[in-house]
């Protein structure tokens, strides 16, 4: 419409006031149309000398402004009401995952894997004694050489004396069964947890 700077300013002020009335005063569509008619009567062509400063739009320009507001704001009034007043649900489009970092090994061997074996078996049969324990044993041997002699004699004895091969096999079978059962139980629990997590993620994806 080749508006002047003052006309652009008045037009943008009019549009901002319409949106402000909708956002703060909760004006209905009918009230906004009435308010626009009153305002256009003041800034449009008139014979009143009081509003000469507001006589900046002629009839053609006023009709063009009304037509624009009709196809932009008034035609989508319900959409603007929904945008200003309706609470919208936040859609989660991503998830956070916590990754456990492997701790640094305190000895020549790394820490046992969670899926490999229990920490009790590892610390008892695989993990070597620490330097502090070795030094303490050496000090004890130096301080009490007489007491260490019976211990040496005892350590030289065969711990399997009095047991038959069948007894040893029975004990090993029992220990092996206990270890396998505990490992199988842990694996089943982990598989169940992973299955529940996958099912939950699948349900979220279906809802999204």
Q: What are phi and psi of 101, to 5 degrees?
A: -90, 140
Residue that wins the pLDDT comparison between 143 and 89:
89
Say if CB 202 and CB 87 are below 8 A apart: no
**Domain ranges (residues) in the chain:** 5-74, 166-207
Q: What is the pTM of this model?
A: 0.37
pLDDT tens figures, 107-122: 666 655 555 666 677 6
Q: What pLDDT is attached to residue 47?
A: 46
């Amino acid at each position: 419409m080749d508006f002047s700077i003052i006309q652009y300013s008045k037009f943008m002020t009019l549009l901002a006031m319409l949106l402000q009335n909708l956002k703060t005063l909760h004006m209905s569509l009918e009230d906004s149309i009435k308010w626009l008619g009153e305002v256009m009567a003041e800034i449009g062509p008139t014979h009143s000398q009081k509003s000469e400063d507001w006589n900046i739009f002629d009839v053609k320009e006023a009709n063009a402004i009304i037509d624009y507001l009709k196809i932009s704001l008034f035609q989508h009034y319900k959409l603007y009401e929904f945008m200003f007043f309706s609470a919208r649900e936040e859609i989660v489009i991503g998830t956070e995952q916590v990754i456990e970092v492997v701790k640094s090994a305190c000895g020549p061997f790394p820490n046992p894997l969670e899926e490999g074996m229990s920490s009790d078996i590892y610390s008892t049969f695989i993990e070597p004694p620490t330097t502090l324990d070795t030094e303490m044993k050496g000090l004890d041997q130096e301080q009490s050489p007489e007491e260490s002699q019976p211990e040496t004699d005892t350590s030289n004895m065969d711990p399997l004396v009095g047991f038959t091969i069948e007894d040893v096999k029975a004990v090993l079978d029992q220990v092996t069964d206990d270890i396998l059962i505990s490992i199988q139980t842990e694996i089943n629990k982990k598989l169940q947890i992973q299955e529940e997590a996958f099912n939950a993620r699948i349900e979220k994806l279906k809802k999204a």
